[in-house]
Structure 1
């Protein structure tokens, strides 16, 4: 829950305090809005994809990706984002989004290294899409975004399940350790959902076991929206896009943050480490009708 004096909930405040960045977080929190400014509306209208996080009917948190032509996202008013897309039947969030749901979303402009989060309430729009009522709108810095340009893939079919299980296969572990980008969805104490971006050089995401993923937390905007959620609720979902084929690896589980000095020294540039205990995995082919150009790695990536 938010208060009059701060946009942050108790978990976010706890994470900011543990990091010693409360004052910086207070300054950054001025950028959190409850409405969609005109510049953000224009940004949304140009995007081809939207990452969306939500809970399934069993309460597990997943992150997935929706796609469409430019204009499939729009802001008809300052409190609403219209999404002319819906998760396919093979997607673990397909059923959840047939009814009202709390969602976290992030729109990424990989070519321009820009991103924007919009969290709120989703409902079916009656036309096969979604209407999301905004509660939090945040524009983030370009750090750790690998520059890529989307390319249409006319031969793409509907999304379909390639594999599903409770642990990562050897091939899926290889997908994880060669990734330079993933997205993470988490949930707060009031059921709100947030979706965020993580980037680094290939290898920054580690598959330490078939049921364990680990990654470093690099310096960010000091809001601690993700780690703050994990302070109060460990449920999390990861999305690993396959930029070359349009596929995607979706992982759900429970995450914990290691704030120790030992964790800080575990990876170059790390301020802390997060480990996800995997409880569910869905691998999709044709998750989007797009592929992307080879990456130009962010200069902010620790080496």
Structure 2
């Protein structure tokens, strides 16, 4: 009898083992990852005004970009498909692959309710203003580390987005990165991306302003805190290393969009410098862009980040 394929690929399992995740937990976790969306996930996606996608460029590098629209721009006609009736921001400018069969990772997030769902799949069809995704994996995430913000009602995609190639030394780049309490990260597994237990992932990271730091050598670092123990992002970094970051400034609508190479530091002495961290992730930027009006102006909130 053929053994069922695990929902976790080799990179994810390697990080799980290094983090001493129990076999019992992993067996339980397998049941959380579905090959089709339950009705509550379909309803959730259809209620959203904002979706984050991990897409690859022509060289295989992952980028993380949002898709924005009024409620109803996301439609799930069947449990294994999701339609996006807007173009992802900067997808044409960055040359992102939206051809049939291309892998995509998605994070649906409602900042007001702090709810988020993950979805990985493959593109079935894409044309100007629309894209249909076939679901490989979907699962919910807890609200940890999400700061409550309220998106203006009826928000549509930005009418015009300009991008400018940046450098880590640019004042605008440093200002946005060093003030960030939220960013989004895309990652990819190594080798052929055939869906299922391998592919592209999009995820959220949150903390206090400054948790995403710029080092003296121009690299970026951020702490990795306890989460669902799936290690989708870290497993992809273990497997391939290429990552893309989308760092928003919610007060201005600007964003820093970059792609580079990530690595995981397990050094306990270094980890001590970040309270509550279990690992440190370092990112060497390869290409950096400063985008204007990449998001609606959402503004700030006085509510603390929930843990």
Same fold (TM over 0.5): yes
Q: Equivalents in 2 of 1:193, 1:36: separation in Å?
A: 18
Shift of 1:167: 4.0
Q: Which residue of 2 aligns with 1:67?
A: 68
Q: Which residue of 2 aligns with 1:136?
A: 137
Shift of 1:89: 5.4
How many residue pairs align between the two structures? 297
Which structure dedicates a bigger proportion of its chain to strand?
A: 1
Q: Which residue of 1 aligns with 2:85?
A: 84
Structure 1 residues 127-276: aligned runs within 5 Å: 128-151=129-152, 157-161=159-163, 163-165=164-166, 167-189=168-190, 190-191=192-193, 192-209=199-216, 211-276=218-283
Q: Equivalents in 2 of 1:175, 1:274: separation in Å?
A: 19
Q: Which residue of 2 aligns with 1:6?
A: 6
Shift of 1:95: 4.3
Shift of 1:271: 0.2
Q: Equivalents in 1 of 2:144, 2:166: separation in Å?
A: 33
Q: Which residue of 1 aligns with 2:294?
A: 287
Q: Which runs of 5+ in 1 are unaligned?
A: none
Q: Equivalents in 2 of 1:25, 1:114: separation in Å?
A: 23
* 33-42 or 120-129, which deviates more: 120-129
SS in 1 for 2:177: helix
Shift of 1:295: 5.2
Structure 1 moving runs of 4+ over 6 Å: none
What RMSD, in angstroms, separates the aligned Cα atoms of the two structures?
A: 2.1
* 273-282 or 57-66, which deviates more: 57-66
The superposition leaves residues 250-269 of structure 1 with CA deviations (integer Å, 9 ceiling, x where unpaired) of: 11100000012123212001
Q: Equivalents in 1 of 2:211, 2:296: separation in Å?
A: 27
The superposition leaves residues 191-235 of structure 1 with CA deviations (integer Å, 9 ceiling, x where unpaired) of: 310011110111111111463110000000000111111111010
Structure 1 residues 47-62: aligned runs within 5 Å: 47-62=48-63
Shift of 1:130: 0.7
Partners of 1:239 and 1:248 within 8 A in 2: yes
Q: Equivalents in 2 of 1:76, 1:262: separation in Å?
A: 50
Partners of 1:159 and 1:288 within 8 A in 2: no
* 192-201 or 122-131, which deviates more: 122-131
